[in-house]
Structure 1
Amino acid sequence: MRSGGVIDLRVAALRTQHTCIRARSRTKMSASTSSSGKRRAEENGILISDHGVKRQKLQTRAQQVLSVKDVCDLVQYITLGRSHNLRKPSWYSLGGESVSRVNLMILDGLTQSHFYSHFGLFTHLSRKYSSRWTLAPSSGERLTSELFNSEVSNASHKLPVRLWWHPVICRFGLKMTGMRGFLLNEQEMIKHQFPVRGGRDCEGFVCTESDGSVSDSSPLFGLDCEMVCIRALIGRSNECVMLDWMNDVSVCPVIGCQWCCAGWMGLFQCVTRAGPEVTRVALVDSTGECLLDELVKPHNPILNYCTRFSGITPAILDPVTTRLAEVQTRLLELLPRDAVLVGHSLDSDLRALHIVHPHILDTSLLYRREHGRRFKLKHLAQVVLGRQIQCEVREGHDPCEDARAALHLAQYFISKGPQKMLDDHGSDLWELTVEELEAEFDQEKNTKNSSVLFGDVHFKSCKSAVFVGRSSETIDRLVTQQCRRHTCSSDRQVLSVFRKVAASYSLSLLLFSSFSSVGAQHDHLQQVCERLEQMCVLYVGPLPPDVSEGQVHALLRRCGRLRSVRMLHFTHRVHARVVFDFPEGALMALERQGTLRLDGCTVKVRRPLHDSSLDLDERLSERQSDPINDRIIYVCNLSRKPQRRQTQLQSFVQHGRIQHVWSSAEHAGRCSRHAFIEFERADSTQAALQDPNRKQTLCHALTPPHMSLWTHPLSVTIESTEQHKQECDRQLLERKIRKLDRRVGKVFRTLEKHCLSIVILPGAKIDGAEHPGMCFIQMKPA
């Protein structure tokens, strides 16, 4: 029995031990599963607490100050980055939008302090531009000069500089792409005057039934038209001037008609009021088979048949009864929804046909030349295809032959790709000899810095630039070829000139200089900084006679970080002048009025009161209505212990997802007592502000995300003896700001859709003190 009892006890002990081992194993497995789940949750930005409560992983934001180089890099990336491997700036994202043009406005002499001290006067800048950054101080002239003289690195390229910046490579890059990569986008179609839906002078045009689903295998259709000049009188003109593509001039004997050449060989594009009239239309499919070859009877009397070029005579056209509307119907029936039209200078053909089609391959823009020049179709067919077209022995052109040649040129270009095209035809088309390129490449490899200037690259890429503004030595050093200059003596003239040339340039720089002489004055900047600092200043008192600055600091530090505390002993009773880092701190201290006590005595806080601060409440209200702060709150009285502080911030997740959290610089490794929280939605901000159970003190943010400093060492209090003079200066300053802001708004309205507008307040450096500027960016909406 004893032996059996011992055995039973041993068995029971072993069973208990085995049970414990299995329990520990399940616990480990559960912990492992929980840990892996937590890792998966962290990857999605969500943390799971021990109690199963979801906690968002808060993202901190670093306040970035841009430099002139950052702005130049952005302009370079937008204008050249598509095909030249330029690094995308991390501080700004286009969100997948394509940019048609870039407009850069420089408001010389203005600083960030000007903008926020007179925020209510900058109505266009504050409402139209949704993105703002603080900019390191510079000058308008320096920024303009550095933009065009900034280097575009070529160190990693495997091609000579001259080949790398060739217009074909600039537009299409080096990588082999499908057919879709060579289609004209909407901005290019507008630039080259193709008819577009809802475009200028396209009223009454017929739109093809394209559904937009184009692939690399979509069918290609070659199109060509022949046109004649119709009767139309042009003012006092007594002769017709005909211009070919190379600007050679000849005179037509017909009286009262003016027309220029802009067709296949720069021919048949009438510029009379009545426009061109189609007399023959040809359409070929992707195999080159002719689907349509139709003569068309013009509605208007024909002035000149241009038989030498069109091959059309009265005898041929007289019996024809087909009208343009019938041809349009035939074309719409023949073209499938994913059709791609191919032609040479196809804009003139589509305008003559009164047809809008969104998918275009234009061979005159595939085989690009420098400075925007184009090859003739006859020359391309001879050099690339080895084919003779438009022979002189035959009168007129065969539109089927021309359409087929354009189709085959496009197919050849797509099959070879840009780099192979330059390798095979660089010498016979673009005069790029292999020997010269190899010598240049060897020389560049032996050079430490193989960079080129942005101005040169922009110009060689067939892109145009214009500068409109005041003349100076720095501006005058810009190369004329790089940038067209319009010298203006006033801001009003800058606006007037730009309105006339806005649509002619891919990059435009406007220099408004009405503040260039005033904005850089020491006294003027002092007044502006003092006006801005007023939002952060409070007077505290009366205080006990023996109170110290440290005690005042300890009393108010829970409201926000203090920049300075100065005791005022010259008053009847002791007061203190307190300056917060941010206006939110002063606002929170005012809200605690009646609860602040020092040595058993209630302490009052109040705003400064003098002439320049009478409108302070209105200025604070304007800051609260700033759309850039719609989703941001200011939280104070946070714990300095990291874990406790994180828990306090996490409590705001219940109101909505948090996008960023940031605060001022930490001191001695301690966390800041305040923070700014940016939600993803504006209604989350309102929910947090209206929460009756909140434990932290908070308010709607007044400080924009990019701004790290409201006060400045140069800030001074205006003396009473100078108040009358300062009042006159203030009124003049406000009038000038309103006028300049209105001009910014007028420039923005002038811009076409998808134009990227950049406004620069350069800032200033005076007597060793730096006054930061600002950068505003906005895409002109469609």
Structure 2
Amino acid sequence: MVKKEKRSVDVTDVRNKNGRRKHFIDPDVIIIGSSSDEAEPDSSDMSDSDPVTAPLHNKRKIKSHADDDVPHDEPPPTKRKTKKGEVLLQTASKEDALEMAQEKNVYKPSINAVKYKSDVMNVIKKLRTQRNVTAAKGGKGVGVQNSRGRIPLKTKMLQGNAMLYDGLKEYLLTEQTRIEQGYPFRNTRKRYAAVLLGGDKRVTTDSSEKICSRCGATYSVGQTGRHTRMKECNYHYGKGVEQRVPGGVETRYSCCEAVMGSPGCQVFKLHVHDGVSLDGFVFTQPRPTIDTSCPGVYSLNCEKCYTTRGVELSRVTLVNSSMQILYDTFVRPANDVIDYNTRFSGISEKNVKEVNVSIKEVQKTLLNLIRADTILIGHSLDMDLCLLKLTHEVVVDTSVVFPHSLGPPHKLALNTLVADHLRKIVQDRASGHDTAEDALACMELMLWMIKEGGRVRRV
């Protein structure tokens, strides 16, 4: 006996215990025999015009095909949340975790795909070089990172290169150029003081009003240089980069690619200024007349930190013409530090507090080595000399030797010069710059210039 039974179906109950989607039963179900035995509906009996059963039935089929592509024999990766709310995959071993950390260090500072590929290739090149050096040393590490900022003056490496010295004479800055570039000169009216003949906004005054070098805001300080009010600094750490767009050119920040003038992408607890004090300067002395040896050629690079009195020296590195590090040390600032500028300097509070070297000790060490006719090489060396509180006249500035195509006051960055002329990549560390790397790059640039006979490719 065949009978027809009317039943209502709960549309929300669409899955069985295994998670598979159930077939929907038409309200008019034909029951054959006992009423407890339900027949499986035929797909031909289910009309496509039914507003309830047809769409859900099609969706069930799509879902079943998708499930077939998932490998159910492998357990899904486990996840955990950090304090910052980031979801990280738990790796199978410490080696995998280390590789993920290295990948993250390369990926985070990359602002686009081109920069990312460049950083990856540079990391691979450094790993290969490190492996070759380790193999040459018989499997022992060279320990470069451990000696960072802790290399005392090596007097055995002070040999001069007379041929290089003579070749660099044509690249020495004239007095007028040093004035225009903001180099410090000896103050003849005040002892142990310097003067910037071209005028410079970096010079600190007794004014209680300061201008933040990051966001441009004006803020007040007391007599000790401390802030009178605690105000956050909202700023962009990247430079403005012009990009061609339909209808013209727009400028965006290199740090976050936001349009010029947009709110800052970084926040710091206080404002800072890059003023320098012109007191406490020392001056290089001439050599004794009986000394007829080569005066020497050295490359110099410094890093700064922000203190209550402006910017102060936090690290200095000196390199000779044989590409050897003569002197490298962290320096403890004389005033309270506001920001160690770690993003660019690569220097942390721990690095500075582990040493007790003062700027006066650094000056004494350098004056025993650098004479009045010694050639110093650097990139924008005026700032390095201001940080060292040292006046020196015989200088070679790579930012002047390799000029910008637009002329002054535009300057090419050091990493741009190295990439264009030496086909190398520097200043790519996520932890900041390295003074030793920059000093070596400046020396290598001038060695390349001497070798090429003064032929400079315009950038």
TM range (shorter): 0.3 to 0.5
Structure having the higher Rg: 1
Select the structure with the greater relative contact order (CA < 8 A; seq sep ≥ 6). Answer: 1
